Amino acid sequence: MATILIVDDAVENLTVLSELLMPLYQVRAVTTGERALRAALSTPRPDLILLDVMMPGMDGHEVLRRLKGDPQTASIPVLFVTAMDGSSDEEHGLELGAVDYITKPIKAAITLARVRAQLELKSARDWLTDRNAVLEAEVRKRLREVQSTQDIAIRAVSHLAEIRDPETGNHLRRTQAYVRLLCDELRGDLRFESQLTSEAIELLAKSAPLHDIGKVGIPDSILLKPGKLSESEWEIMQTHSMLGWHALALVEADEATSVSFLAFAKEIARHHHEKWDGTGYPDRLAGEAIPLPARLMALADVFDALTSRRPYKEPFSVDRATEIIVQGRAQHFDPAVVDAFVRRRAAFVEVSERYKDSAASVEAQSSAMHQLLSKRGASW
What is the tally of helices (H) and strands (E) in the chain?
16, 5
User: For residues 118, 124, 128 and 131, what is the CA-based torsion angle, rounded to 10 degrees?
Assistant: 140
Q: What is the pLDDT of residue 128?
A: 87
Order of all β-strands in the sheet with 100-103:
26-30, 3-7, 48-52, 78-82, 100-103
Tell me the three state secondary structure of residue 7: strand
Helix (H, G, I), strand (E, B) or coil at 26: strand
- Among the listed residues 54, 98, 102, 103, the one whose alpha carbon sits nearest the alpha carbon of residue 77: 98
255 CB-contact burial (10 Å; exposed 0-12 / middle 13-18 / buried 19+) = exposed
The rounded distance, in Å, linking the Cα atoms of 252 and 33 is: 63
Residue type present at position 257 = T
- Look at residue 325 and give its three-state secondary structure: helix
Residues 6+ apart with CB under 8 A from 218: 164, 236, 237, 239, 240, 243
Digit-by-digit pLDDT tens for the chain (380 residues) are 899 999 999 999 999 999 999 999 999 999 999 999 999 999 899 999 999 988 998 999 999 999 999 999 999 999 998 876 656 667 777 888 899 888 888 899 999 999 999 999 999 988 888 888 888 888 888 777 666 666 666 666 666 666 666 555 688 889 999 999 999 999 989 999 999 999 999 989 988 988 998 988 888 888 878 778 899 999 999 999 999 999 888 888 876 666 777 889 999 999 999 999 999 999 999 999 999 999 999 999 999 999 987 766 788 999 999 999 999 999 999 999 999 999 999 999 999 999 987 655 555 555 555 555 455 554 43
Alpha-carbon 326 to chain mean position: 32
At 191, is the secondary structure helix, strand, or coil? coil
**pLDDT at position 284:** 97
Q: What is the pLDDT of residue 7?
A: 95
d(CA 279, CA 303): 19
Report the C-alpha gap between 116 and 90 in whole angstroms: 20
Enumerate the domain spans of the chain: 3-133, 164-375
> Measured between alpha carbons, how far is 81 from 59 in angstroms, rounded to an integer?
12
**Burial class for 298, CB neighbours closer than 10 Å (0-12, 13-18, 19+):** buried
Q: Cα–Cα distance between 31 and 45 in angstroms, integer?
A: 17
DSSP-derived 3-state class of residue 30: strand
CATH of domain 164-375: 1.10.3210.10
User: What is the fold of 3-133?
Assistant: Rossmann fold (3.40.50)
Handedness of CA 124, 126, 131, 136 (dihedral sign): positive
Please say whether the beta carbons of 305 and 325 come within 8 A: no
- Report pLDDT for 172: 86
71 Cβ partners below 8 Å, 6+ apart?
A: none
Q: What is the pLDDT of residue 206?
A: 87
